[in-house]
Amino acid sequence: MRFENYWETDAEGNSLPYADEIIGKVKSEDSVRLTALRTGQVQLIDAVAYADVERFQKSYADKYNIWQWHAGGIATVFNFRRGPFQDKRLRTAAAHAIDRQAIHNSVFYGQGDMLDQLYPPGDPWHLESHSLEYDPEKAKALLKQARAVGTPLKIVCIAIVAFARESGQIVQEQWNSIGFKVTLEPLDTVPFVNARKQGEFDGLVQGHTARFDPDDFFGRNLHSTSELTQALSGWQNERYDRLIEEAKKTLDPAQRKALYTEGWNIVNDELPYFFLHQVTQTSAAVKELQGYQPNVVGALTYRGGGIRTAYIAA
């Protein structure tokens, strides 16, 4: 229901939000969600399935408003606390074995970019990144050199997120193809968080939401003093820590970006993380829905857009 005493107004001084109420309907099945929009049961859906985006855009762009927006990214996290990936040769082999193109085609159906970092091209914080390329022959050679052919690995991912589960399946296949013996464990939310916290994995397929300020990612996910870093890779690197600390207090954007670039390329060399792909979201609504614009901080509300400024035109 609309809160009559909400503080914000639009440019003309009219109180927000415009709508009297919003009724949310949980529809977890992709086809059911899309059918609900097309049959008029709902006016807005915040997620069109990747498999349906291209066809929906071609067939219905004249009938519906369609927005595609950057929601974050997905990466493989290597466990530095225990297990085989404490050996950099094995991490390097595993990174060379990952074919981002396969993930792009099979998981995301060509939607979004094959990123090696959180921020996409065109974003002010997109970096000059240099990550390892797909090279399965080099990966096999590294495994033989390390006398590690047949090494058992466990990948953990969250079961309820389809793109994480499907990306995990592809990484499993690709690591098996170079000589690892890989099991994949998709887990529900609580077991996944516990496994992550206890370090009960070798590789972790981990999604990330987009961040407005880079420190919310580079500091929170990778600085050695961060609790989240220790719950993910457990990686520690003094040079990286100093760069991120300096960037956090640097006001000049160009200097700050240079510090993050140097820090991120340490990550690409040491491999606590290996980025796989951008995560995009496609929202769709009836043409009568006006004033709405989705955003990375959430589909419903953010300053300057979202549901607060949305209304159904007569």
The band of 304, judged by pLDDT with boundaries at 50, 70 and 90, is: low
Mean pLDDT of the region 306-313: 86
3-state SS, residue 70: strand
> Is the pLDDT confidence value at 11 over 90?
no
- 94 DSSP assignment: H
User: What's the average model confidence in pLDDT over 249-264?
Assistant: 97
Predicted local confidence at residue 307, as pLDDT: 82
Model pLDDT for residues 208-241, shown as the tens digit of each residue = 887 778 999 999 999 999 999 999 999 999 999 9
For residue 260, pLDDT over 90 is answered with yes
Q: What pLDDT is stored for residue 211 in this prediction?
A: 77
Residue type, 144: K
* pLDDT given at position 89: 98
Mean per-residue pLDDT, 275-298: 86
- Please, which pLDDT band fits residue 301 given cuts at 50, 70 and 90? low
**Contact call for residues 243 and 33 (beta carbons, < 8 A):** no
Q: Which fold has domain 72-279?
A: Dipeptide-binding Protein; domain 3 (3.10.105)
User: Which residues lie below 8 Å from residue 146, measured CB to CB, with a gap of 6+?
Assistant: 87, 89, 90, 93
Res 275 pLDDT > 70:
yes
Domain ranges of the chain: 1-63+287-314, 72-279
- pLDDT bracket for residue 95 (50, 70, 90): very high
Closest CA to 266 of 222, 208, 231: 222
* Rounded CA separation 12/252 (Å): 35
Rounded mean pLDDT, 152-163: 96
Range of lowest pLDDT (110-114, 151-155, 293-297)? 293-297
Quick one: which of 256, 244, 268 has its CA closest to 116? 268
Write the pLDDT tens digit of every residue in 106-127.
999 999 999 999 999 988 999 9
pLDDT confidence tier of residue 163, bands split at 50, 70 and 90:
very high
Residues 249-274 have a mean pLDDT of 97
Instruction: State the pairing for strand pair 289-290/311-312.
Output: antiparallel
- pLDDT score for 86: 97
What amino acid is encoded at 194 in this protein? N
Average pLDDT over residues 55-62: 94
- Express each pLDDT in 68-83 by its tens digit: 888 889 999 999 999 9
Report the pLDDT averaged over residues 85-97: 98
Q: What is the largest CA-CA distance in the chain?
A: 70
- Residue 8 has what pLDDT? 87
Rounded CA-CA distance 120/149 in Å is 35
- In this predicted structure, what is the pLDDT of residue 308? 83
* Cβ contact 49:284 at 8 Å: no
Task: Give the H/E segment covering residue 278.
Answer: strand 273-286
Identify the pLDDT of residue 27: 84
Residue 300 pLDDT: 53
Q: Which of 98, 208, 194, 203 is nearest to 161 (CA)?
A: 208
